[in-house]
């Protein structure tokens, strides 16, 4: 599953509606609402959780994934040591990360690409990516754009 920075993961593109996602991946294994009334889809086989923002006409705006198949710049992410992943990303010009620690987990956040790599015991266990907010303080939806 290829991570497409600022756009999504695999065939999941920011701005898709629920029916667009179902047309590609089928019905989700779980479908529920969070505390903000956002709709959440979970696909077990792909190990991905999708958030459709209620305040944005239920467009896909956030993805959380933990599949061992995740790739960024043709490199695997999950299960690798964070120092190695960061070294790979640095070669591609992505070097600025804000680090947060809690319990045995650490988050590495890159605001330019709105990505978070979560680690436990120095190994990447989860990858999160969100839709980018543009200069007009609006989401930069990619779905349907040429």
- In the numeric block, the tokens 């045995």 are attached to 104
The H or E element that residue 64 is part of is strand 59-65
Residues 45-77 have pLDDT tens digits of 999 999 999 999 999 999 999 999 999 999 999
Our CA angle for 61, 8, 104, nearest 5°, is 80
Cα gap 43→143, rounded to integer Å: 20
Neighbours of 50 (CB within 10 A): 26
Neighbours of 144 (CB within 10 A): 9
Work out the average pLDDT over 82-96.
96
Neighbours of 48 (CB within 10 A): 22
pTM for the predicted model, two decimal places: 0.95
Cα gap 118→34, rounded to integer Å: 21
What pLDDT score was predicted for residue 18?
A: 98
Q: Which of 131, 103, 145 is nearest to 8 (CA)?
A: 131
Neighbours of 52 (CB within 10 A): 20
What pLDDT score was predicted for residue 76?
A: 96
Work out the average pLDDT over 25-49.
97
């Amino acid at each position: 599953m290829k991570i497409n920075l600022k756009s999504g993961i695999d065939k999941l593109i920011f701005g898709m509606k629920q029916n667009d996602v179902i047309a590609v991946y089928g019905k989700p294994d779980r479908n529920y609402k969070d505390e903000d009334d956002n709709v959440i889809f979970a696909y077990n086989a792909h190990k991905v959780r999708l958030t459709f923002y209620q305040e944005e006409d239920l467009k896909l705006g956030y993805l959380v994934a933990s599949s061992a198949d995740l790739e960024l710049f043709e490199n695997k992410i999950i299960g690798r040591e964070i120092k190695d992943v960061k070294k790979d990303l640095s070669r591609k010009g992505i070097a600025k990360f804000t680090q947060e620690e809690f319990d045995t987990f650490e988050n590495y956040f890159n605001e330019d690409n709105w990505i978070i790599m979560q680690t436990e015991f120095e190994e990447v266990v989860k990858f999160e990516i969100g839709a980018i907010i543009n200069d007009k303080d609006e989401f930069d939806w990619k779905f349907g754009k040429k």
